[in-house]
Amino acid sequence: MNAIGNPAPRVDADLKVTGAARYTVDLALPRMLHAKVLRSPHAHARVAHVDARRAAAMPGVAAVVTRDDLGGLNATYGYFIKDQPIVAIDKVRYIGDMVAAVAAETEEQAVRALEAIEVRYEPLATVATIEQALAPAAPALFEIPPPGIVPAYGAGASGFKDPAKNVCYRFCYTHGDAAAFARADRVFTDEFRFSRMQHYHLEPFVTLARVEAGQIELWSSCQNPFPLRKELARVFNHPEQNIRVHVPFVGAGYGAKNNCKTEPIAVLLAKLSGRPVRFCMTMEENFLTQSQHAAILRLETGVTNDGRFVARRSEILLDAGAYSDASPLVAEKAGYRINGPYRWEFIDSRCDCVMTNTTPAGPFRGFGGTQASWASESQIDMIARRLGIDPVTLRKKNLLKLGEAYVPGESGMDSDLAEGLDLVCREIGYGRGERTKGRGIGIAIGFKDSGGVNKPAEAQVKATTTGGIIVNSGTIEIGQGIQTALTRVVAELFACPSARVSYGPIDTDVTPFDQGTNASSAIVVMGQAVERAARDCIARILDFAASQLNCMPGDLRLENWAVVKDNQAHPLAPMIMRHFGGTGFEFVGRGYFKPETDHHAPLEAKCVSWEIGWGAAEVDVDEETGRVVVRKLVVSGDAGRAIHKDACRGQDEGAAMMGLGQALFETMRYDGPVLANIAAARYRVPLASDLPESFRAVTQEQGHGPGPFGAKGMGEAGMLPVAAAIANAIEDAVGARVASLPLSPEKVLAAIEAKRAKAEDK
């Protein structure tokens, strides 16, 4: 039926363009209360006294939560490390830390009640930066290390919990012999700084919860309902089977909407009040809840004079903020990806998660890969210029080949890296003709593994009597078009129109398990589970039809809800009704996918797929002001096989614009521990006027992916190369290197002036 790749509308298009799509933020329940939270004005302080009695007696107030209401609970949560409390217990650790919560009839009443809560703080010294947190005399955010785990790792990889004061986690990876550095003709050491972005998802963090008859039920704007259910069961000491999580459409997440955010407070207030509670944060509160990791990256890289990569030693310091959240996972990815898609004799990477009195940091689009690609691709360009080798030639000399393992024990590349590099070079006009003064071109390759680590997924496909098909999977529609992709896969396998296939709502009571919608895993992990479920369902249908037609299942094929035998179509509906009676029947297929555990693989399982983003930028730089104008931007990702080409292109375009924002201006600005641009109107994101004169996203279909029909995960890779490509273009234009983001006019001008001063000294 050619469902794959054709330009038909997305299945959620009508709902979204007409405003009929329902998000968690749109939902309400009868007798619903509204929650608001009291946040700390201090970056670091002991909570000496909390008194909420006046607040509890105020009009409209149904429940109040303080640390005194946490008895009997496992009141802290997190991924590997359980360190973030529902509300502050002993200390607050950043400005905005939640201290108390109120549920009232109206939001206004809840806010008024917050003002009546008495809190006495004993301020402590703060650490607002990585350097301050690592200083010998720095105060400890946690005097006693919180409980947590270190997962199992394979060959060359290791993890350490609380290895040093204010370091909550360390990930290390080593391969080869350090003596390789002695075989290098040149060794270059450079430091790079990576800025902190806000996810800026338009639907805020929001949960609607009710607790009735021992059942906890919630509707949440989240990306991983099953792990969320498990964590809530642990926090509330509640049977997991008596917790039900619904997830409607999600108004974007970019990684922020994983694990607990609004959910514990909403559930606890609902439990105390006996009424449904809606906890919806404001846009400004989003800034105080989750951010990207700022980072310092130091690379020591050994190469030969002819440009062969030999050895790299990396030290990465991630700013984890006040609580660990998913920082250990980000550390794994940054530390593992820092070497890029290149061949090395020796690798030694260490990534530390450093805790500071700032907003907790967590997963962000391409997490770990954004930080790693920025530093690695910047240094590779710098090395090329120092050696007098063309930057593209240097990359091609060292790129891994199609099928070549990333490192020993790991899976092989499933994209032709040189082919993608040639594509963006052609699109940008690399090496063609003379350029005007102040104009430069830069190239970069963003690199990450996709599909998560050791990630399982289950799916179910049901076919009704009349040929309607329902796909049940736990993958969340967060704007990326996964409902369209997965229903198209099933339609193609069933040889029927896409309109016959629908995507079931997410409900943890009935939806099969999924670990979460993240890491570009939907099409390469869940896609394989859905494909297997569809094939299982088809096999059951053909077995039934064969029994009715007195033939073997192999004699039949399924086409548009008929079975074809000897070129004659036999409609299935009458056949089903004859056999099962007037009630009809449903055929149910189940599918499961998980990478095999492999102790030879550094992350205990081989990466399912590799997500590559090739990027090229042409810029104009004003040497008198430092202003940078991106004239042309090209990004390209390899979808393997594009299930919906327009959606794939849109994902790369959106990711590239996020990369452009980070490259040029987007950042959370801290004045000490105070977030200076917390207001949404003061936080600069890309506008339509920021689009380059020429902007192109090219979707490659190289066909080597492990997903259905050769598909690969995408959606993050378009962001990864952009910042480094623009920085490389700036140096190409004016000969000055800026090694910290964003690439503001002030930094560019300072680099130009430093270059001039150096030339004058000579």
Q: Determine the CATH number of domain 455-593.
A: 3.30.365.10
In terms of Cα–Cα distance, which of 481, 476, 470 is closest to 457?
A: 476
Q: What is the pLDDT of residue 96?
A: 98
Q: What is the pLDDT of residue 12?
A: 94
Query: How many helices (H) does the chain have, and how many strands (E)?
Result: 17, 32
Q: Tell how far CA 597 is from the center of its chain.
A: 23
Q: First and final CA of the chain: distance in angstroms? A: 70
In this structure, how many other beta carbons lie within 10 angstroms of the beta carbon of residue 695? 16
What burial letters (b/e) apply to 248-259, b meaning 16+ CB within 10 Å?
bbbbbbbbbbbb
| Spatial distance between the Cα atoms of 623 and 730, rounded to a whole number of angstroms | 10
More reliable by pLDDT, 3 or 121? 121
Superfamily of domain 24-124+199-287: Aldehyde oxidase/xanthine dehydrogenase, a/b hammerhead (3.90.1170.50)
Q: What tokens were used for 37?
A: 């939270």
Tell me whether domains 24-124+199-287 and 455-593 share a fold: no
- Answer yes or no: are the C-beta atoms of 543 and 555 closer than 8 Å: no
Please state the rounded mean pLDDT for residues 563-591: 96
In terms of Cα–Cα distance, which of 462, 459, 458, 460 is closest to 541?
A: 462
Q: What is the dihedral of CA 144, 157, 129, 42, to 10 degrees?
A: -40
Q: Starting from the edge strand earliest in sequence, which strands make up the sheet with 568-571, in order?
A: 557-558, 562-565, 568-571
| Spatial distance between the Cα atoms of 718 and 659, rounded to a whole number of angstroms | 8
Q: What is the pLDDT of residue 53?
A: 98
Q: What is the pLDDT of residue 452?
A: 87
Q: Determine the CATH number of domain 295-452+601-761.
A: 3.30.365.10
Helix axes 369-387, 722-734, angle to 10 degrees: 30
- Answer yes or no: are the C-beta atoms of 146 and 81 closer than 8 Å: yes
In terms of Cα–Cα distance, which of 297, 282, 287, 350 is closest to 321?
A: 287
Q: What is the pLDDT of residue 758?
A: 85
Query: Given a cut of 80, is residue 42 above it in pLDDT?
Result: yes
Please state the rounded mean pLDDT for residues 462-482: 97
Q: Which residues lie below 8 Å from residue 704, measured CB to CB, with a gap of 6+?
A: 402, 414, 415, 416, 638, 640, 710, 712
pLDDT band, very low/low/confident/very high, at 760 (cuts 50, 70, 90): confident
Question: If you search the block for the tokens 């310091």, which residue do you land on?
Answer: 317
Q: What is the pLDDT of residue 761?
A: 80
Query: Given a cut of 70, is residue 5 above it in pLDDT?
Result: no
Please state the rounded mean pLDDT for residues 437-459: 94
Query: Given a cut of 60, is residue 1 above it in pLDDT?
Result: no
Please state the rounded mean pLDDT for residues 345-366: 98
Q: Which residues lie below 8 Å from residue 677, measured CB to CB, with a gap of 6+?
A: 668, 669, 683, 684
Indicate the helix (H) or strand (E) that contains 219.
Answer: strand 215-220
> For the whole prediction, is pTM greater than 0.85?
yes
In this structure, how many other beta carbons lie within 10 angstroms of the beta carbon of residue 180? 17
| Spatial distance between the Cα atoms of 410 and 603, rounded to a whole number of angstroms | 9
Q: Starting from the edge strand earliest in sequence, which strands make up the sheet with 501-503, in order?
A: 501-503, 469-473, 457-463, 587-593
| Spatial distance between the Cα atoms of 722 and 735, rounded to a whole number of angstroms | 19
Domain extents in the chain? 24-124+199-287, 295-452+601-761, 455-593
pLDDT band, very low/low/confident/very high, at 9 (cuts 50, 70, 90): confident
- Answer yes or no: are the C-beta atoms of 46 and 122 closer than 8 Å: yes
Q: Where are the beta strands (DSSP E) in 482-540?
A: 501-503, 506-507
The burial class, CB within 10 Å (0-12 / 13-18 / 19+), for 183 is middle
| Spatial distance between the Cα atoms of 434 and 605, rounded to a whole number of angstroms | 48
Indicate the helix (H) or strand (E) that contains 372.
Answer: helix 369-387
How is residue 112 annotated by DSSP?
H
Q: Which residues lie below 8 Å from residue 390, measured CB to CB, with a gap of 6+?
A: 384, 431
Please state the rounded mean pLDDT for residues 31-51: 98
The alpha helices in 684-744, defined as continuous H runs, are 722-734
In terms of Cα–Cα distance, which of 154, 4, 75, 1 is closest to 485?
A: 4
Q: In this predicted model, what pLDDT tens digit does every residue of 368-415 receive, in sequence order?
A: 999 999 999 999 999 999 999 999 999 999 999 999 999 999 999 999
Q: What is the pLDDT of residue 2?
A: 62
Name the average pLDDT for the chain: 96
Q: What is the pLDDT of residue 6?
A: 67
Give me the percent of the chain exceeding a pLDDT of 70: 99
| Spatial distance between the Cα atoms of 411 and 367, rounded to a whole number of angstroms | 20
Query: Given a cut of 90, is residue 434 above it in pLDDT?
Result: no
